[in-house]
Structure 1
Amino acid sequence: MRYLRSLLLCLSIAAMFLAGCATTTVQYGDAGSAKPIGTDFGSSDLQQIAEAMVDSLITFPPVAEQTSQRRPVLSVDKVKNKTMQHIDTESVTDSIRAKLIKSGKFRFIDRTTDEAAVEEIKTQQESGLVDKKTAVEFGRQIGAEFLLTANFAEIVQKAGSVTDVYYKFTMNLKNLKTGILEWSDEKEIRKISKRSMFGG
Structure 2
Amino acid sequence: MGFMSKIIGSAAVAALLFSGCATTGGAGKVDGGDSNVAYGDAKAVETVTADFGSTDLQATAEMMAQSLLEVRYIAKAQQPPKVRLMEVRNQSYEHIDTRAITEKIRSKLLKSGSVRFVADSANLGQVNEARDFLETSTKKKNVKAMTDFDYVITGTVRSIKKANANVQDNYYSIMLQLVDPQSSEILWEDEKEIRKVSKKPSLGW
Instruction: Report the TM-score, using the length of structure 1 for normalisation.
Output: 0.76
Q: Pick from 12, 22, 40: which aligns with 2:51?
A: 40
Instruction: Report the TM-score, using the length of structure 2 for normalisation.
Output: 0.75
Query: What is the alpha-carbon distance in structure 2 between the residues aligned to residue 192 and residue 116 of structure 1?
Result: 42
- Provide the residue aligned with 1:55 in structure 2: 66
Are the aligned partners of 1:121 and 1:138 in contact in 2 as well (CA < 8 Å)? no
- Provide the residue aligned with 2:123 in structure 1: 113
- Provide the residue aligned with 1:8 in structure 2: none
Deviation at 1:180, TM superposition (A): 1.8
Q: Pick from 123, 138, 150: which aligns with 2:140?
A: 138
Percentage of identical aligned residues? 33
Query: What is the alpha-carbon distance in structure 1 between the residues aligned to residue 141 and residue 66 of structure 2?
Result: 34
Q: SS of 2:76's equivalent?
A: helix
Q: Pick from 166, 178, 189: which aligns with 1:161?
A: 166
**What are the equivalent positions in structure 2 for 1:160-179 lying under 5 Å apart?**
160-179=165-184
**What are the equivalent positions in structure 2 for 1:1-200 lying under 5 Å apart?**
23-66=34-77, 69-111=78-120, 112-125=122-135, 137-140=139-142, 141-142=144-145, 143-196=148-201
Q: SS of 1:26's equivalent?
A: coil
Are the aligned partners of 1:167 and 1:189 in contact in 2 as well (CA < 8 Å)? yes
Query: What is the alpha-carbon distance in structure 2 between the residues aligned to residue 177 and residue 25 of structure 1?
Result: 54
Query: Which amino acid is 1:123 matched to?
Result: F
Query: What is the alpha-carbon distance in structure 2 between the residues aligned to residue 54 and residue 120 of structure 1?
Result: 30
Are the aligned partners of 1:75 and 1:147 in contact in 2 as well (CA < 8 Å)? yes
- Provide the residue aligned with 1:6 in structure 2: none
**Which structure 1 residue ranges, 5 or more long, are not aligned?**
1-21, 126-131
**Which structure 2 residue ranges, 5 or more long, are not aligned?**
1-32
Q: What value does the CA root-mean-square deviation take over the aligned residues? A: 2.0
Please identify the structure whose Cα radius of gyration is greater.
Answer: 2
Can you list the C-alpha shifts for 1:92-144, whole angstroms capped at 9, x where unaligned?
1110111111111100011222222222233333xxxxxx5xx6513424201
- Provide the residue aligned with 2:22 in structure 1: none
Are the aligned partners of 2:110 and 2:116 in contact in 1 as well (CA < 8 Å)? yes
